Amino acid sequence: MRKRLTIATVVACLFFLTGAVNTAQSQTKAPYKIGFIVPLTGYLSWLGEYMKKGAEVKVEMINKAGGVNGRPVELVTYDDQSSPEAATRHAQRLISRDGVVAIMGTGTAVVSGAVSSVANKSRVPAVIQSGYALTEKETFTFNNAHPTDFAISRPMLYFQKKGIKQVALLMPIGPLGELGSGIARKHAPTYKITIVGEEKFDVKAADVTAQLAKLRALNPQAIMAFTTGEPAALLARNMAQMGMNIPLVVSHGNATPGFLKLVAQTPTMVIVPSGKIMAIETLADNDPVKKVVAEFSRAYQAKYGEPANYYSGQQADAVALIAEALRVTKSEDPVKLRDALENIKNFAGCNGVYNMSPTDHQGTRTEDMILLTIKDGKWALLD
């Protein structure tokens, strides 16, 4: 018995030492550097905080598992200050001086466009996260955020199932409102929805009851407002004050703990499109993203003491997609890396199952989005 125990102990020690050696070897190899452009200051800093946390957690998870091809992953992070000009400078530096294999990040369309321009001129892959719409010429840019079309067509699918056919639009003045209005009008016929009217409002306004009164006169069954944060919360509060007991759909930019605090006590039925990470406990055991979402959420909670959210999970997916392309190619050649990203298939992430192609650089489907509402002050899945 003593001899058997001795052999078992030796084997266990050898196994431990071998694993330790492999880990040490991977740590001594040159890292794969991924450029990360993120809004840590400026008006998008609230979003940048979630993005940064999500990226850092995913990199730690990858490196603890041995890295990619035996090499660690390293983030080279720059604050774009919520500015396309700063983002352009950082993208150029990441490519020309820092030697990154790819770039990721950005929190809004105008910043994403600036980074995409640099990436495509330099022929370096970029995986961005915003509502930026890619063109056919941007062959080196990928966008793993759910397309804005999904965030509007997914609630319309819900309306169709619930027999809601009369919808009014209340959009913010400016490009975001124009985008939301255009997409809503494009998809409405598909779901047999009539847009009964539209009003616009200033996101800095302290009250929108005048616009809501005009829309109420049109007897809509729901209101869609493609806006985020305090302006979206203001609409919900004003609707409640006016006794408008109809659903309010707002942007997927509101799938955050911060927005929940703003509207948790408001009786208006607020609907927020989101990724599945916001409703882990409701996912079926056979849902391909459940394991990925659960593992990331546990690591995120352990590191930061708070739940993971839509945006931290979305940024984690960007890291995972780049890592997968590196694993497949075992090369830092930017063209090979771009080709590998284009050929990713059935890759489960927090935002859904990615199936990329040369003509689809986003890879998700409308069904990858869920709808959240608020019950008892908490997020709840809308059936």
Domains recognised in the chain with CATH numbers: 31-146+290-364 (3.40.50.2300), 149-280+369-381 (3.40.50.2300)
The whole-number average pLDDT for the span 188-206 is 97
Report the percent of the chain where pLDDT is more than 90. Answer: 86
* pLDDT for 22 beyond 90: no
Q: Where does residue 268 rank: exposed (0-12), middle (13-18), buried (19+ CB within 10 A)?
A: buried
User: Is 197 within 8 Å of 215 (Cβ atoms)?
Assistant: yes
Predicted local confidence at residue 355, as pLDDT: 98
What pLDDT, on the 0 to 100 scale, is given for residue 281? 87
What residues are paired with 374 via a beta bridge? 379
Q: How confident is the model at residue 189 (pLDDT cuts 50, 70, 90)?
A: very high
What SS3 state is found at 349? strand
Between 10 and 349, the more confident residue is 349
Closest C-alpha among 280, 251, 271, 321 to residue 101: 321
Question: What predicted TM-score, i.e. pTM, was given to this entire model?
Answer: 0.87
C-alpha 6/C-alpha 3 separation (Å) is 5
Question: Strand pairing of 378-381 and 369-375?
Answer: antiparallel
pLDDT higher than 60, residue 1? no
pLDDT at residue number 138? 97
The phi and psi torsions of 33 (rounded to 5 degrees) equal -95, 125
360 Cβ contact list (under 8 Å, min separation 6):
none
pLDDT of residue 15: 47
Per the structure block, which two tokens stand in for 103? 């770039």
Averaged pLDDT score across all residues of the chain:
92
- Name the more confident of 105 and 43: 105
Residue range 166-192: mean pLDDT, rounded? 95
Cα distance between the two ends of the chain: 60
Q: Encoding tokens for residue 31?
A: 């890292």
24 vs 149 pLDDT, higher one: 149
Q: Give the pLDDT confidence of 261-282 residue by residue, as tens digits.
A: 999 999 999 999 999 999 898 8
Residue 7 has pLDDT above 80, yes or no: no
Single out the residue of 150, 130, 158 nearest to residue 142, CA to CA: 130
Q: What pLDDT is recorded for position 295? A: 97
By CB neighbour count within 10 A (0-12 exposed, 13-18 middle, 19+ buried), where does 40 fall? middle
pLDDT at 11 over 60: no
Q: Give Dmax (Cα) for the chain.
A: 88
